[in-house]
């Protein structure tokens, strides 16, 4: 491949070539401006000051709108920052304005750490921009720049000097942001006091080495006005959103019994100067200073902290790529380690869980076995009981057959005795109480009934229905059959009684009802 | 690894988020004064513009540059009679400061004598690509320094004017190859050189054929369609796109025509006026390059082409690519010495329009 030969003829000190005609690149600034207009501008203001110094009111007055927000209370536990973004449009210029306000500044009893949230917030904005810039795929041109461009520091109008809190905070902020100190609520100070106050403040700032923002004086178009304004720092401002009729114009003012303070009157306060400086003359410069000075400083410190260097100890130029690589490998290694750890932890946890589950399973099995055993025991007991009952039934049956046998033997022994026997039998088989209750033509020789209803020859006493039933109930299988037949028989008996009451026997009404009751 | 290139829109309108309520302003605040502030700042810092002209020798590149900037930027080098044709493709750069109405413009013109002049023109675009990438690399190195300068000197090529020889037929394979490769890296504006050898009808036919060729081979010349932001831009740019490539004639001699002094070429059959729209389209080219789209060229170079380069460079830094003409500004580490990286002719894949603009 052919080697490249690049001959650069001029470095610095290029010769100026005269133009023979109109080329037309003087429209370049217009092209630039058009592009910027279509992109839109953004401007971020930070208002630092104690509660009640009129920060929100001043913002409203500056931008001629009513930004919403309620006044903060004095009971905040720490300093917080409240940020709001608004879209302002004037003719064809769109401005994305972000106003950040400290809430609770100077309200605590111990104010040592009051400046920390503010510094952290500013650093966070720088960090966000740096991260975006360091990204591999970045979209810097559409990135919403949230870095603070101007910090308005509100000084309380004591008339004496700066408070120590102010000094400390400003000292911490001066290397991070453009500070513009202003004296708030300056309608509380008289003119002579004001000049003394301003001198005192500036001298204190200088003696403490606080770098406040100086309006640029290098460009001749704005050098003059900026120079004079620099002498008026810090501006004594008054904010007001109320409009009063003064003369024949409506203007923003504050009304007191002793007079009216006009906000836009240069003799009354420096509000107009502040607006000029902040917005109309130096907005672009504020943004540039933020980007080229404060942000670069932050970036340098941050990158050095991260370990990047421009030259290594051998004073050979370090390549950022190499450091990137090293960091990247380190990072990957860390990630891998973490992954390993996590995997191990996961495996351990899984094992533990498994053990637990196994235990639970074992327990369940044991319980199941226990219950099964119980169940079997119960079943066995019931079977034993059943067996014993069956034995009793058999014994009873045997006794009955024995009794019958005896009876048949008795009848064989004496015929004369037969009648007697018969009578006895009859008496026995048809005891008087039964003949009353039981019609003779009804089958009374069913063996089940006999064996059940008629007890052994020992007892003669009549059985109540209840006891009979109870007796029947102790023999489940046989008894149910007997009971049902017994019940059905009883029912039919009653019916027949009803039918032929007079022919067979006339039960007394009381008796009849008793029967009916008992069968019911 | 085939790098994927993403081309986001260089500048988009502010996103409307519910967080930012539009506010009514009751009086004049003075926000529009920021435009004047911008202008003042721009005038103070000055402008830079880097242009590269590519084409075979004898197509009138140097004359064209002189005509564009109305000054003797280049001394046109007549081909040495009987002298040896330079064996290597050389790139010459000159920097001048031109001033108009208080505005200073630092103009750098890079010429490529010897392009396409050899018998075997294979890979003749590599030195050019290498040069362009080297400028990006230089800017990148400046940008990633810890303590960097307030204003990084911008040597990146903002625009590359490609001279198509007036054959009247269609684009040659060399042209197609070159345009394909360069369109991904830099803004390319093709022009039909020496258009006074074509009649108006031939010009139109040639132009249509070239446009068709460009479409067939998916070559996206400036102004790229995908970077049109709003409807106005699109209308304006489609008018321009309709006329690309411009048929231009370069001249740095003045002649008297109808009592006026005009730049033109005098021939036996008449004077070709350079600034006459009926004769050639030089005014269109000048307006595009200087009067209306100069800032846009710079923006697209910075926001799109440079970012693409940066992405690839940072992604591949651990692979240590060795593209042709790539100058390694990093000190050699032991790893580099032991394993020589493969010579890669980077294949750019085309990105389809599924990106958000």
Q: What per-residue confidence (pLDDT) applies to A217?
A: 82
**What integer pLDDT is reported at residue B333 of this predicted model?**
34
Q: What is the pLDDT of residues B219-239, one digit of tens each?
A: 888 888 777 777 888 888 888
- Indicate if the alpha-carbon torsion angle A333, A338, A341, A343 is positive or negative: negative
pLDDT on residue A136: 78
pLDDT at A242 over 50: yes
In the numeric block, the tokens 């290029």 are attached to A14
CA pair distance A78, A166, nearest whole angstrom:
16
Q: Do strands A5-8 and A150-155 pair parallel, antiparallel, or not at all (unpaired)?
A: unpaired
pLDDT digits (tens, 9 = 90+) for A21-54: 778 888 888 888 888 888 888 899 999 988 888 8
More confident call, B258 vs B28: B258
Q: Which of B99, B144, B324 sits opposite A320 (nearest CB)?
A: B144
Is it the case that residue A212 has pLDDT exceeding 90? Answer: no
Range among A245-259, A347-361, B157-171, B221-235 with highest mean pLDDT value: A347-361
What is the model's pLDDT at position A16? 75
Token pair recorded at residue A502: 């007079």
Lowest-pLDDT choice from A215-229, A331-345, B7-21: B7-21
Scanning every residue of chain A, which has its alpha carbon at the shortest distance from the alpha carbon of B300? A141
Question: What is the arithmetic mean of pLDDT over B154-180?
Answer: 89
| CB neighbours of residue A387 within 10 Å | 10
Strand order across the A235-236 sheet: A235-236, A179-183, A150-155, A41-48, A93-103, A80-90, B22-23
Smallest Cβ–Cβ distance between B96 and the set A17, A39, A94 belongs to A17
Calculate the dihedral angle through the C-alpha atoms of A415, A419, A425, A429, rounding to the nearest 10 degrees: 140
When comparing pLDDT for A321 and A407, which is higher? A407
pLDDT of A387: 95
Evaluate the CA torsion angle A35, A39, A40, A41 in order and state its sign: negative
pLDDT, position A497:
65
At A6 the pLDDT is 31
- Predicted local confidence at residue B36, as pLDDT: 85
The phi, psi pair for A398, rounded to 5°, reads -60, -45
A19 and B28 within 8 Å at the Cβ level: the answer is: no
**Average pLDDT, rounded, for chain A:** 79
> SS3 of A183, please?
strand
pLDDT (average), residues B35-39: 85
User: In the beta sheet, which residues pair with residue A7?
Assistant: B92
* Closest Cβ–Cβ partner in A28, A40, A138 for B47: A28
Closest partner residue to A17 among B24, B72, B315, by Cβ?
A: B72
pLDDT of A496 strictly over 50: yes
Least confident of A39-43, A339-343, A362-366, A397-401: A39-43
Cβ A64–B27 below 8 Å, yes or no?
yes
pLDDT tens profile B112-153: 888 888 888 888 888 899 999 999 999 988 888 878 888 888
In angstroms, the CA B292 to CA A31 distance is 7
Contact B208, B192 (CB under 8 A): no
C-alpha distance across the termini of chain B, in Å: 26
Min distance B197 CA to chain A CA atoms (Å):
26
- Give chain A positions within 8 Å (CB) of B34: 41, 93, 95, 279, 283-284
| Best A56, A280, A304, A305 residue to mutate vs chain B (most B CBs within 10 Å) | A280
Nearest residue in chain B measured CA to CA from A21: B70
For B2, the 3-state DSSP assignment is: coil
The two tokens of residue B242 are: 């309709």
Contacts of A38 in chain B (CB under 8 A): 11, 13, 229-230
Structure token pair of residue A174? 């001066």
Instruction: Please indicate if any CB of chain A lies within 8 Å of the CB of B88.
Output: yes
Q: What pLDDT is recorded for position A326?
A: 73
Partnered with residue B246 across adjacent β-strands are: B191
Residue A468: CB atoms within 10 A of its CB come to 16
Q: For residue range B289-333, what is the model confidence (pLDDT) as tens digits?
A: 888 888 889 989 998 999 989 888 887 765 443 333 333 334 333
On whether the pTM is more than 0.80, the answer is: no
Q: Report whether B177 contacts B194 (CB < 8 A).
A: no
Q: Using the beta-carbon criterion (under 8 Å), do A320 and B69 form an inter-chain contact?
A: no
Q: Give chain A positions within 8 Å (CB) of B308.
A: none
- Taking every pair of Cα atoms in chain B, the longest distance, rounded to a whole number of angstroms, is 77
* Chain A residues close to B43, C-beta within 8 Å: 29
Closest CA to A433 of A464, A470, A403, A457: A464
pLDDT > 70 fraction of chain A, expressed in percent and rounded:
74
Cα(first)–Cα(last) distance of chain A, in Å? 123
| Listed range (A29-43, A141-155, B339-353) with the worst mean pLDDT | B339-353
Question: CA B261 → CA B79, B253, B277, B283, B284, distances in Å?
Answer: 29, 10, 16, 16, 20
Residue A398 has pLDDT above 70, yes or no: yes
Residue A274's SS3 state is: helix
Q: Of the candidates B40, B93, B230, which has its C-beta nearest A8's C-beta?
A: B93
Instruction: Please determine, for residue A192, whether its predicted confidence score (pLDDT) is greater than 90.
Output: no
pLDDT at B5: 37
Beta strands in B101-205 (DSSP E): 103-111, 159-164, 188-192
């Amino acid at each position: 491949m052919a080697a490249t030969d690049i001959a650069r003829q001029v470095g610095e000190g290029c010769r100026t070539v005269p133009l023979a005609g109109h080329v037309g690149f003087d429209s370049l600034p217009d092209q630039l401006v058009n592009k910027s207009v279509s992109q839109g501008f953004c401007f971020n203001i930070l208002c630092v000051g104690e509660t009640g110094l009129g920060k929100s009111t001043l913002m409203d007055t500056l931008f001629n709108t009513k930004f919403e927000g309620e006044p903060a209370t004095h009971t905040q536990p720490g300093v917080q920052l409240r940020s709001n973004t608004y879209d302002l449009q004037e003719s064809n210029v769109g401005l994305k304005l972000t106003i950040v306000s400290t809430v609770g500044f100077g309200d605590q009893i111990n104010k040592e750490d009051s400046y920390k949230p503010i510094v952290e917030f500013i650093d966070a904005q720088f960090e966000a921009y740096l991260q975006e810039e360091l990204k591999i795929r970045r979209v810097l041109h559409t990135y919403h720049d949230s870095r603070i461009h101007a910090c308005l520091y509100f000084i309380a109008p004591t008339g004496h000097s700066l408070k120590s809190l102010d000094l400390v905070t400003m000292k911490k902020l001066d290397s991070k942001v453009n500070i513009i100190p202003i004296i708030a609520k300056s309608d509380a100070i008289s003119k002579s006091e004001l000049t003394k106050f301003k001198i005192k403040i500036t001298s204190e700032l200088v003696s403490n080495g606080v770098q406040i923002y100086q309006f640029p004086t290098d460009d001749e178009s704005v050098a003059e006005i900026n120079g004079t304004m620099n002498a008026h720092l810090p501006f004594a401002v008054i904010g007001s959103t109320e409009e009063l009729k003064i003369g024949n114009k409506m203007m923003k003012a504050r009304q007191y019994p002793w007079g009216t303070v006009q906000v836009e009157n240069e003799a009354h306060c420096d509000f107009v100067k502040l607006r000029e400086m902040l917005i109309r003359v130096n907005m672009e410069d504020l943004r540039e200073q933020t980007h080229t000075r404060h942000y670069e400083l932050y970036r340098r410190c941050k990158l050095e902290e991260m370990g990047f260097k421009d030259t290594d100890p051998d004073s050979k130029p370090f390549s950022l790529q190499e450091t990137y690589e090293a960091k990247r490998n380190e990072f990957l290694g860390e990630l891998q380690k973490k992954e390993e750890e996590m995997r191990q932890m996961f495996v351990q946890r899984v094992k533990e869980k498994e053990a637990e589950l196994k235990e639970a399973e074992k327990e369940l099995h044991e319980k199941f076995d226990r219950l099964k055993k119980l169940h079997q025991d119960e079943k066995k007991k019931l079977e034993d009981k059943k067996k014993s009952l069956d034995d009793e039934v058999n014994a009873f049956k045997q006794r009955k057959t024995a009794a019958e046998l005896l009876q048949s033997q008795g009848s064989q022994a004496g015929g004369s005795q037969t009648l007697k026997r018969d009578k006895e039998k009859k008496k026995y088989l048809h005891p008087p109480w039964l003949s009353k209750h039981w019609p003779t033509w009804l089958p009374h020789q069913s063996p089940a009934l006999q064996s059940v209803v008629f007890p052994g020859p020992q007892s003669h006493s009549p059985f109540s229905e209840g006891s009979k039933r109870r007796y029947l109930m102790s023999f489940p299988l046989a008894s149910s059959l007997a009971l049902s037949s017994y019940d059905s028989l009883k029912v039919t008996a009653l019916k027949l009684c009803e039918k032929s009451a007079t022919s067979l026997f006339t039960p007394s009404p009381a008796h009849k009802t008793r029967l009916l009751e008992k069968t019911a | 690894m085939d790098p994927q290139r993403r081309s986001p829109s260089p500048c988009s309108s502010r996103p409307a988020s519910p967080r930012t309520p539009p506010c009514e302003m009751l009086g004049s605040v003075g926000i529009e004064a920021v435009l004047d502030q911008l202008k003042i700042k721009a005038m103070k810092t000055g402008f830079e513009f880097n242009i590269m002209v590519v084409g075979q020798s004898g197509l009138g590149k140097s004359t064209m540059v002189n005509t564009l900037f109305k000054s003797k930027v280049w001394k046109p080098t007549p081909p040495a009679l009987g002298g040896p044709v330079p064996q290597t493709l050389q790139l010459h750069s000159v920097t001048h400061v031109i001033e108009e109405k208080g505005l200073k413009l630092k103009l750098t013109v890079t010429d490529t004598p010897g392009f396409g002049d050899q018998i075997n023109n294979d890979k003749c675009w590599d030195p050019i690509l290498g040069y362009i990438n080297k400028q990006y690399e230089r800017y990148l190195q400046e940008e990633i320094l810890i303590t960097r300068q307030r204003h990084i000197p911008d040597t990146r090529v903002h625009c590359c004017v490609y001279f198509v020889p007036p054959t009247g037929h269609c684009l040659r394979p060399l042209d197609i190859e070159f345009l394909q490769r360069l369109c991904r890296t830099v803004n390319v504006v093709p022009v039909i050189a020496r258009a006074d050898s074509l009649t108006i009808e031939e010009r139109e036919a040639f132009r249509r054929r070239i446009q068709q060729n460009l479409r067939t081979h998916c070559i996206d010349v400036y102004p790229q369609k995908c970077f049109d932001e709003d409807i106005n831009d699109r209308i304006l740019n489609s008018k321009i796109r309709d006329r690309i490539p411009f048929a231009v004639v370069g001249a740095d001699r003045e002649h008297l025509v109808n009592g006026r002094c005009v730049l033109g070429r005098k021939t036996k059959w008449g004077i070709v006026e350079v600034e006459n729209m009926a004769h050639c389209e030089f005014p269109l080219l000048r307006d595009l390059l200087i009067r209306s789209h100069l800032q846009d060229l710079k923006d697209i170079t910075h926001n799109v082409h440079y970012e693409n380069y940066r992405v690839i460079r940072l992604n591949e830094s651990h692979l240590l690519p060795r593209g042709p003409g790539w100058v390694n500004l990093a000190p050699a580490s032991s790893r580099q010495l032991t394993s020589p990286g493969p010579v890669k002719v980077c294949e750019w894949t085309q990105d389809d329009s599924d990106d958000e603009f």
